[in-house]
């Protein structure tokens, strides 16, 4: 259990434990040196726990670097408890759903660019699935979510993932 007080509103992320989900994730985890030694020795259920653990570690790195993201409250097996991004049980909209003014769109775009740079330089991470679906708009700023697939740039596919993230951000008119 984490040493953190449980916020009034929390978000739960339950990682699916089906084999099909596991097969979609292996390219992000099997070559990640942080988990490589344990990968081949584990069954799919244990890999799902490792996937949840990976999200926890990535979020903690991001929080330490000052990147707006959910704060980890606790991790139990394949269930991650995080701070809730939103208010009064209404989740913040994704950038895909948010109706932003032109000014807010510019603000969001430059925030995302700055966060990508921080993620790379301060956290030594590439999001690896960055799109308007896993960024939230709350209190006039962008929050990054869904970082379990994030990898370090030295990952064999790290720079390819970074290129895809850059393309996704540049093609989406935030």
Distance CA 56, CA 51 (A): 9
State yes or no: is 129 an active-site residue: yes
38 contact partners, CB below 8 Å, separation of at least 6: 50
CA 106 to chain centre: 22
8 A C-beta contact, residue 64 and residue 119:
no
31: tokens are 């070559």
- Active-site residue (options: 32, 104, 129, 139): 129
The β-bridge partners of 82 are 11, 72
The β-bridge partners of 76 are 79
Among all chains, which residue has been given the structure tokens 């916020």? 7
Active-site residue list: 129
């Amino acid at each position: 259990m984490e040493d953190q007080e449980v916020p009034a509103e929390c978000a739960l992320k339950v990682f699916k434990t089906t084999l099909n989900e596991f097969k979609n994730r292996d390219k992000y985890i099997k070559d990640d040196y942080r988990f490589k030694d344990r990968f081949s020795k584990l069954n799919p259920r244990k890999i799902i726990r490792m996937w949840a653990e990976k999200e926890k570690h990535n979020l903690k790195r991001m929080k330490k670097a000052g990147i707006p993201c959910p704060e980890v409250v606790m991790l139990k097996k394949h269930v991650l408890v995080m701070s809730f991004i939103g208010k009064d049980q209404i989740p913040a909209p994704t950038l895909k759903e948010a109706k932003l003014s032109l000014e807010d769109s510019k603000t969001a775009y430059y925030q995302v660019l700055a966060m990508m740079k921080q993620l790379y330089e301060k956290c030594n991470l590439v999001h690896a699935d960055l799109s308007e679906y896993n960024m939230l708009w709350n209190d006039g700023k962008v929050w990054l979510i869904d970082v379990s697939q994030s990898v370090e740039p030295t990952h064999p596919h790290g720079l390819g993932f970074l290129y895809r993230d850059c393309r996704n951000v540049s093609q989406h008119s935030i």
